[in-house]
Amino acid sequence: MTVQPREGLLNIRPYKPGAAEAPGVENPVKLSSNENALGCSEKASAAFQASADQLHIYPDGGATRLREAIAKAEGLEAERIVCGAGSDELLQLLGKAYLNPGDKVVQSQYGFLVYKLVAMQSLAELVVAPETGYRTDVDAIIEAAGDDAKIVFVANPNNPTGTYIPASEITRLRDALPDETLLVLDSAYAEFVEDPDYEAGIELARTRDNVVMTRTFSKIHGLAALRLGWAYGDPSIIDVLHRVRGPFNVNLPAIEAGIAAIEDADFVRRSIAHNTQWVDYLRQQIGGLGLEVTPSVCNFVLVHFPESGDKTAPNADAYLTSQGLIVRRLEPYGLPHALRITIGKEVENRRLVEALTAFMGQ
Ligand SMILES: *Cc1c(COP(=O)(O)O)cnc(C)c1O
């Protein structure tokens, strides 16, 4: 018998990222991974390039200057921030740090897939709280958590639904959970949300010692390739994450690009404006084809297709792929009749609508 990994690990189905190729089509448009339609800040890519002559140097393991730049841009305390190789790594580290085998982890029905991976890695028990109208249901989470959940993961807004719940609901959730339950607020899309009743969770993460907020440079800052994220919370939680992270978990080019990106408020503003404009366009145009589009505050839309007949989600996906438009299938999320479509550049969005119009008219 060959060497065996820890119990349960072979049950994990590795995370499958959004497709990146359309066989037979040159230069396809990738709308499958919620990347930034505008690319990234020119200042960030210049900082990345300028780091090319320092590749032999270990990065600052504490990412001090990056944490200070984040703190300044967001009005936070640098010592309450820890950086990671993507917020994915921080979610993994939270599992590594807080979960014992058999512990209960709670997530929402269509919650981000990484939470399940985190639970399985720690042999924790995942309990899924049903959603209502593709929206996080706080009462269902409270019920699922009971008096013994160790971690509750809430993506707000959530991927792949694109919906959010207001700050008052998040506070109500925190108040109803046991003090010993860690509430993880995954705010990967926070910057895109313009609704006044939304908050990323900074206030709760500042005032409660059992709330941690995770953020990413992959979406609004367009630095998905560099793998950069951060978490903000009580010093006791941040201290634990520093203990379990790799000594140099964030690389030097990522630190340099991240500092330039978070200081480039103009790029962030332009990204938000572009997104708001084209989310509305896609929702109207696709809705006009008779398809249901879940209202989204993120840089993607969730589009629902008929469950039978020839206008199904798999058929739409096949047609779009044949036209060089790559979108996200959602079978792994239990949404086999829906597709997730990332907001692209203007020409890409128009091409998408044209192709979907042709598909629906066939
Ligand atoms: C994209 C995304 C992340 C961020 O992933 P990174 O590892 O930072 O690239 C986290 N949570 C959700 C819900 C996401 O959609």
Does residue 7 sit within a domain? Answer: no
Rounded to whole angstroms, how far apart are CA atoms 114 and 181?
19
Q: Each residue of 325-334: pLDDT tens digit?
A: 999 999 999 9
Does residue 9 sit within a domain? Answer: no
- Residue written as token pair 């006009």: 288
DSSP reduced 3-state for 106: strand
Ligand 1 site, residue 161, Cβ cutoff 6 A:
no
User: Does an H or E element contain 328, and which?
Assistant: strand 328-329
Q: Atom 10 in ligand 1: which residue has the minimum CA distance?
A: 188
Q: Each residue of 304-357: pLDDT tens digit?
A: 999 999 999 999 999 999 999 999 999 999 999 999 999 999 999 999 999 999
Rounded to whole angstroms, how far apart are CA atoms 52 and 97?
34
Ligand 1 site, residue 113, Cβ cutoff 6 A:
no
Q: Please give the distance, rounded to the nearest whole angstrom, from the Cα atom of residue 212 to the centre of ligand 1.
A: 15
DSSP reduced 3-state for 74: helix
Q: Best of 186, 213, 214, 300 to mutate for ligand 1, by most ligand atoms within 8 A of CB?
A: 186
Same domain, 184 and 240: yes
DSSP reduced 3-state for 190: helix
Residues 240, 97: contact at Cβ < 8 Å?
yes
Alpha helices in 245-345, H assignment, sequence order: 252-263, 265-287, 313-322
* Mean pLDDT value across the chain: 97
Same domain, 111 and 212: yes
Between the CA of residue 341 and those of 43, 61, 129, 171, 185, what are the distances in Å? Answer: 28, 36, 25, 31, 24
Q: Atom 14 in ligand 1: which residue has the minimum CA distance?
A: 188
Same domain, 323 and 194: no
pLDDT for residue 18 = 77
Per the structure, the complete domain to which residue 248 belongs is given by: 42-263
Same domain, 205 and 301: no
Rounded to whole angstroms, how far apart are CA atoms 83 and 92?
13
Fill in the DSSP letter of residue 7. Answer: T
Would you say the C-alpha torsion 190, 144, 161, 16 has a positive or negative sign? positive
Same domain, 135 and 244: yes
pLDDT for residue 36 = 98
Q: Please give the distance, rounded to the nearest whole angstrom, from the Cα atom of residue 359 to the centre of ligand 1.
A: 31
Q: Which two tokens stand for residue 69?
A: 């730049």
Ligand 1 site, residue 35, Cβ cutoff 6 A:
no
Same domain, 35 and 155: no
Q: Which of 195, 230, 263 is the last residue of a domain?
A: 263
Ligand 1 site, residue 97, Cβ cutoff 6 A:
no
Q: Which of 240, 263, 286 is the last residue of a domain?
A: 263
Q: Please give the distance, rounded to the nearest whole angstrom, from the Cα atom of residue 289 to the centre of ligand 1.
A: 30
Q: Each residue of 242-283: pLDDT tens digit?
A: 999 999 999 999 999 999 999 999 999 999 999 999 999 999
Same domain, 291 and 191: no
Total domains in the chain come to: 2
Share of the chain above pLDDT 70, in %: 100
Q: Atom 1 in ligand 1: which residue has the minimum CA distance?
A: 188
Ligand 1 site, residue 88, Cβ cutoff 6 A:
yes
Same domain, 34 and 123: no
Please enumerate, as own/partner, the contacts of 200-208 that have beta carbons within 8 Å and a separation of 24 or more: 201/156, 201/167, 201/170, 202/74, 202/75, 202/76, 202/232, 203/167, 204/170, 204/171, 204/174, 205/80, 205/232, 205/233, 205/234, 206/76, 206/80, 206/232, 208/174, 208/183, 208/234
Q: How many residues does the chain have?
A: 362
Q: Please give the distance, rounded to the nearest whole angstrom, from the Cα atom of residue 187 to the centre of ligand 1.
A: 9
Q: Atom of ligand 1 at shortest distance to CA of 158? A: 13
Q: Best of 34, 40, 114, 193 to mutate for ligand 1, by most ligand atoms within 8 A of CB?
A: 114
Q: Each residue of 193-203: pLDDT tens digit?
A: 999 999 999 99
Q: Please give the distance, rounded to the nearest whole angstrom, from the Cα atom of residue 87 to the centre of ligand 1.
A: 6
pLDDT for residue 1 = 66
Is the pTM higher than 0.75?
yes
Q: Atom of ligand 1 at shortest distance to CA of 224? A: 9
Average pLDDT score over residue span 38-55 = 98
Q: Each residue of 11-23: pLDDT tens digit?
A: 888 887 878 888 8
Angle at 79 between CA 165 and CA 201, to 5 degrees: 5
pLDDT for residue 32 = 96
Same domain, 241 and 335: no
| 284: confidence class by pLDDT, cuts 50, 70, 90 | very high
Q: Atom of ligand 1 at shortest distance to CA of 218? A: 9
pLDDT for residue 27 = 87
